[in-house]
């Protein structure tokens, strides 16, 4: 089988890495890919949102399975286009991807179908949004309605910060049209967890839990980022919580989608807050999370291609998915200045070091430049390690991270510490 993976980040490197382990797979292409992916797949210079270019390539190469990594191509309907042309593709269609594409849409679905979540209001007028702040108190959560590359959520500690966030989103267009509408939510207190689930329209099978670290600096300080690291399993996601989340959130979501006439096939991400009242839903993502994927897939024992084909065919029910017992920790190595201004093009050293079998370096923002690999993004690498305990995995990940060097590298030193 020939496989095409759409995207070019750390999540896509992890997907390519896992797909390459399937005996069903003959050749992997990745569009556009990156410097690390090029060691496992043939990288193709087609943008992830160039749906017609991707379709033409898939037809020309006789691609048997296309896997969509990022949210942007999902939101513009790449899955719909491939299906209309008789091609097998893993990911939700454009309507189903609205779960991530619109915070307002997803919150309305949660409220209508009794899925536990934070109290919220939606606004298209900045003055009305500011006027409503007093009814929420502080801290308060301000979200851009549309896609903002994982950075469109501000947790404002006081009213001044909340007003500034509303102005930046709605008037200064910091996130473009994504901030034309905002959602204001009450701030929930608790512990976060990320749950990814395989969904085939009728059945949802959760994967092992994960927990990511959004803030740029140690001790959860600094700006929100796309994620500075992750651990699997999540520290506070015990069996009781998992059962409650499956019953009250995952299964209710699937029932809600079916009630609304939406057939969801692919991976559905549930961002949870574990509160004193039980788990509550913060948000959906319509694809594999990043950097959660880089700690979840190394724990997967089963053939990922088998699972994806079962999802596409609506045959997930009864499918057994096996996981490794080892814990996983992933540390993001980022460019200095990320998530704000940073420079690219620095040579990365230390990638050739022989790594242990239970440690792997996923490339998130790199490109090949002659015989070198250079930085080409804010999040550059994700160093993931497995261990019998979380602390063992953590030590292995940081030991490997210390062997890698590039100018102005920055990374958190407290990933996977309770």
Number of other residues whose CB lies within 10 A of the CB of residue 203: 18
CA distances from 319 to 24, 200, 204 (A): 18, 11, 11
Q: Is residue 149 predicted with pLDDT exceeding 80?
A: no
Distance CA 18, CA 14 (A): 6
- Please state which CATH number belongs to domain 191-312: 3.30.470.20
- Please state which CATH number belongs to domain 327-402: 3.90.600.10
Banded model confidence at residue 357, pLDDT cuts 50, 70, 90:
low
Of 266, 246, 251, nearest to 95 by C-alpha is 266
Mean pLDDT, range 346-358, rounded to an integer: 77
Sheet holding 89-90, edge to edge: 42-43, 27-32, 2-7, 65-68, 89-90
Residue 126: φ, ψ to 5°: -65, -40
Domain extents in the chain: 2-94, 120-186, 191-312, 327-402
Of 387, 363, 385, 389, nearest to 376 by C-alpha is 363
Distance CA 110, CA 411 (A): 35
Asked if residue 191 lies in contact with residue 241, where contact means CB atoms within 8 angstroms, the answer is no
Query: Ranked by mean pLDDT, which of 122-126, 137-141, 301-305 comes out on top?
Result: 301-305
Q: What is the pLDDT of residue 359?
A: 87
Distance CA 46, CA 56 (A): 11
Q: What is the pLDDT of residue 355?
A: 52
Q: Is residue 179 predicted with pLDDT exceeding 90?
A: no
Q: Decide yes or no: CATH 1.20.1740.10 for domain 120-186.
A: no
- Please state which CATH number belongs to domain 2-94: 3.40.50.20
Q: What is the pLDDT of residue 127?
A: 93
Nearest 5°: the CA angle 209, 377, 167 is 80
Asked if residue 197 lies in contact with residue 250, where contact means CB atoms within 8 angstroms, the answer is yes
Mean pLDDT, range 231-259, rounded to an integer: 97
**pLDDT over 90 percentage in the chain:** 90
Question: pLDDT tens for residues 74-131?
Answer: 999 999 999 999 999 999 999 999 999 999 999 999 999 999 999 999 999 999 999 9
- Tell me the two tokens of residue 28: 């992997």
Mean pLDDT, range 39-63, rounded to an integer: 98
Look at 32-46, 122-136, 148-162, 304-318 and tell me which has the smallest mean pLDDT. 148-162
Q: What is the pLDDT of residue 147?
A: 83
């Amino acid at each position: 089988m020939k496989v095409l993976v759409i995207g070019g980040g750390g999540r896509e490197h992890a997907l390519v890495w896992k797909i390459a382990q399937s005996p069903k797979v003959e050749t992997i292409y990745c569009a556009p890919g990156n410097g690390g992916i090029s060691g496992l797949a043939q990288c193709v210079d087609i943008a992830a949102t160039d749906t017609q270019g991707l379709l033409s390539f898939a037809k020309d190469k006789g691609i048997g399975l296309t896997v969509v990594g990022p949210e942007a191509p999902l939101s513009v309907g790449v899955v719909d286009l491939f299906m209309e042309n008789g091609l097998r593709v893993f990911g939700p269609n454009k309507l189903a991807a609205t779960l991530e594409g619109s915070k307002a849409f997803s919150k309305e679905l949660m409220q209508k179908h009794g899925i536990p979540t934070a109290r919220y209001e939606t606004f298209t007028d900045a003055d009305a949004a500011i006027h409503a702040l007093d009814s929420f108190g502080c801290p308060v959560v301000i979200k851009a309605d549309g896609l903002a590359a994982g950075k469109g959520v501000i947790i404002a500690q006081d009213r001044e910060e909340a007003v500034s966030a509303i102005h930046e989103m709605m008037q200064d267009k910091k996130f473009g049209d994504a901030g034309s509408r905002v959602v204001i939510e009450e701030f929930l207190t608790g512990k976060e967890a990320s749950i990814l689930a395989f969904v085939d329209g009728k059945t949802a099978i959760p994967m092992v839990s994960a927990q990511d670290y959004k803030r740029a600096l140690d001790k959860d300080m600094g700006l929100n980022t796309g994620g500075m690291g992750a651990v699997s399993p999540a520290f506070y996601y015990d069996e009781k919580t998992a059962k409650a989340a499956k019953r009250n959130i995952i299964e209710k979501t699937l029932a809600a989608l079916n009630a609304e006439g939406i057939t969801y096939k692919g991976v559905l991400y549930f961002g949870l807050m574990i509160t004193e009242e039980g788990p509550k839903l913060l948000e959906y993502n319509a694809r594999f999370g990043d950097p959660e994927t880089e700690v979840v897939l190394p724990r997967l024992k089963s053939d990922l291609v088998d699972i994806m084909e079962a999802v596409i065919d609506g045959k997930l029910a009864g499918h057994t998915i096996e996981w490794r017992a080892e814990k996983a920790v992933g540390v993001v190595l980022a460019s200095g200045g990320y998530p704000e201004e940073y420079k690219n093009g620095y040579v990365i050293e230390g990638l050739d070091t022989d790594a242990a079998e239970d440690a792997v370096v996923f490339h998130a923002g790199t490109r090949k430049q002659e015989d070198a690999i250079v930085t080409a993004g804010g999040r550059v690498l994700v160093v993931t390690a497995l261990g019998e305990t979380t602390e063992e995995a953590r030590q292995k990940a940081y030991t490997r991270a210390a062997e890698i060097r590039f100018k102005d590298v920055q990374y958190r030193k407290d990933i996977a510490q309770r």
